[in-house]
Structure 1
């Protein structure tokens, strides 16, 4: 992808596109993390490019952001959800209701709010139950994973591998409480994570904002959240690298994100994108579900 915007130009322009009304330079500084001097200089650059007029983004500015816009979302939703037994005996985990709403609905709603209307769900276990989503979300398209019970989630990525450019990839069983973490624009590929002093969970080692290692458990690391974004260039590379990894000995046992973060890491430069502990919850066990929603505690 030809980067026509510098990182700082992108930061300011995307904030102007997503915020309603005019922001002061001080507000832009607070939201972008850039100094007032930097904001002032970048606003002058954007004004000269005619991307901004009198502090507001122009049509040309919106067009300049188009290559960075999230265009589609892929939901990995084929698995059994064994740790949520007995609920998942009859219901796929993403369709389990928490406080009356299906888990996946919050994620889909956040995508629609961010202007992402091209939505694919990779399904396998109790696949036909996902049809119920069409009443509320008629735009959904389903991708079938026939080998979900004999391979890891890389088999779902295989099914969706041609849709990964300018795309979010979601684990479909995440309970979202802050829809704002789903952004309309991304400068590059990124993975959501939570800064941790220590964790026993899947986590990243990060250097200069870029993920350099994925591992289980660590100190002073970033705990992985199952939401990532892939730009156009990386999406094309993933379509080949996922297939290559899948077809290698033991490939079916892999997790799909190990392709760009471990096995083909040299092909990618994936940034970490920070979210907070309470932005999103992964309900791993029936005990955790009961703790969140007391109606299950019977």
Structure 2
């Protein structure tokens, strides 16, 4: 039986925190204390919660919402990071001694996401080094990386998208907790800002209604390249990605423009808020030198 949103939020919190809660006010969700108290009674009646803690039946009830796999988009050139990306793809660049992608993979493994795929293109064979530490990784080759935008990476991995994370592999992750084991519905990660001149989404009642460049207002979220796609939306994307890619100018699109722009009437994608310090995008070599002084020589 499907969970309501509030039931899911409570069970997910309990499973993540791994501790009992003595009262509704101790459970941090966006719902009111009364709503939580009522939902807790319902969960207790179903046997999903007992003495303020999630039961084995509750864990089983979360299983349909479990992230099944993670897909890393790692085929690009990383041209703005030249000269370091002449011989090293950006996700393999080390920051404070750790490869950028390692932090992402470790966060997925910590969330019990074991099925991990990396879409590679530029200097693709160099990603083989990851297998020594992460033998579970599977690679997907993108032969179009030098002639198309990252929609080509989504195209070659599209059949894996249902119940999956799609992650840009060159984001420097500081807070691994943004990678979660369970999700109720499709969502895109964003940093709430009053103004941004970067790529942003605008959301109303938590649902994304526009993607654009540069915006201001209380509904603006700077885009972070992490998203989750539930089963229904994932299967819909299989066809939509292919259709947009094959349309005029389709090769030049960013992959997330498929559900957020060109086929947005097919989707109701939530924005999932994170903090600016959770994830850092290193765009240029100068920014890398600022973050890691070992490169400032």
How high is the TM-score relative to the length of structure 1? Answer: 0.97
Equivalent residue for 1:18? 16
| 8 Å Cα contact 1:12/1:28 also seen in 2 | no
CA deviation profile, 1:79-121 (whole Å, cap 9, x unmatched): 0000000000000000000000000000000000001000000
Tell me the CA shift for residue 27 of structure 1: 5.3
Alignment of 1:161-172 (within 5 A): 161-172=158-169
Q: SS in structure 2 opposite 1:110?
A: helix
Alignment of 1:105-254 (within 5 A): 105-220=102-217, 221-254=220-253
Q: SS in structure 2 opposite 1:134?
A: helix
Segment of structure 1 superposing worse, 58-67 or 259-268: 58-67
Distance (whole Å) between structure 2 residues aligned to residue 99 and residue 58 of structure 1: 41
Cα-Cα RMSD: 1.0
| Structure 2 unaligned residues grouped into runs of 5+ | none
Tell me the CA shift for residue 35 of structure 1: 2.5
| Structure 1 unaligned residues grouped into runs of 5+ | none
Distance (whole Å) between structure 1 residues aligned to residue 188 and residue 144 of structure 2: 26
Equivalent residue for 2:2? 4
CA deviation profile, 1:174-213 (whole Å, cap 9, x unmatched): 0000000111111100000000111110001111100000
- Following TM superposition, where does structure 1 have runs of at least 4 consecutive aligned residues deviating by more than 6 angstroms? none
Distance (whole Å) between structure 2 residues aligned to residue 260 and residue 35 of structure 1: 31
Q: Does 1:33 align with 2:37?
A: no
How high is the TM-score relative to the length of structure 2? Answer: 0.98
- Structure 1 pair 273–238 and aligned structure 2 pair: CA distance change class (3 A): same
How many residue pairs get aligned? The number is 295
| 8 Å Cα contact 1:25/1:39 also seen in 2 | no
CA deviation profile, 1:54-98 (whole Å, cap 9, x unmatched): 212112111111111111000000000000000000000000000
CA deviation profile, 1:1-52 (whole Å, cap 9, x unmatched): xx711111010011111112212325543x2133222221111000111111
Q: Does 1:259 align with 2:252?
A: no
Distance (whole Å) between structure 2 residues aligned to residue 205 and residue 22 of structure 1: 36
